[in-house]
Amino acid sequence: MRQYWQKLIILLVALGVTIAQPGWSDSPPVRDPVFSEAFCLKIFGEVAEKARSSSWQISDRDRHILTQCRTKFPPTANSQIPLPTADECVYVVKTLVEGGLSKVKEIELPEEQVRSIERCDEVIKYYSLSSENMLPTLKSSDKIVVDRTIYQTQVPQRGDILALNSPHPTQSDQYPELLTRRAIGLPRERIKIEQGIVYINGKLYKENYVTQAVDFNKSISVPENKYLVLDDNRTSSTTKSSWSLVSREAIVGKVVWHFGSK
């Protein structure tokens, strides 16, 4: 069982999840060096060895190296092991973030379920925010966990916080810029905003997460396979720039959990 937990810990670190309380860095990553497979295997072994210590803290540099190694040399997926649910993955991530490595080791799960959770990197994705566009719901220093599989079995719902591919990425292709927006208008709906108040098909839509209504007016009919998205932070400038229609293909997933910097 211990070898599975060690692999799982490596996975969580590669996802970007903190162990104990290391310093976070939201600065854009530098161009990555070329890592050999032998070097990466050595790193995996070292991390597994260090993971035996409940007091271990990983540096930002080592976390970045580990992430790149897993990206370049991902483990071979065992098709006989089912994918875990996003809830199972988030549960383990929460336990690690809130309780530390020792709490993860205390989780009692069947071996097969632990092996399934090893595939969490196929289900959830971790990102650091660098924008205040979703205040007060999300802060610029927050870390978000995105369920990448939820919209494979259902359509986006109104109120979902969506993770979107930016139409104008500013980072490298390996690190595309991610946008977070609230789904407001669904396909074939008529959306109207009067003095910052949203109406859907002529009916008032209450948004408890918006703390300040702005003097903004616009209306639109949402086309098929499109979604109208807006920021939660509805200042005059951000509302005009965030009012946009996105295609289903641009949606990476749904933000299912977030937490602040340590």
Residue 159 has a pLDDT of 97
pLDDT in tens, 137-194: 999 888 899 999 999 999 999 999 999 987 765 544 444 568 999 999 999 999 999 9
Q: How many Cβ atoms are within 10 Å of 166's Cβ, its own excluded?
A: 12
Residue 58 has a pLDDT of 67
N- to C-terminal Cα distance for the chain?
A: 30
Which sequence spans correspond to the domains of the chain?
2-122, 128-259
- Among residues 90, 91, 92, the alpha carbon closest in space to that of 147 is found at 90
- Does 2.10.109.10 match the CATH number of domain 128-259? yes
Mean pLDDT (whole number) for 113-140: 85
Q: How many Cβ atoms are within 10 Å of 105's Cβ, its own excluded?
A: 17
Residue 174 has a pLDDT of 42
Task: Give percent of the chain above pLDDT 70.
Answer: 73
pLDDT in tens, 75-96: 666 667 888 999 988 988 888 7
Compute the distance between CA of residue 111 and CA of residue 50 in angstroms, rounded to an integer: 22
Distances (CA, A) of 180 to 34, 99, 106, 129, 254: 31, 27, 34, 9, 9
pLDDT beyond 80 at 19: no
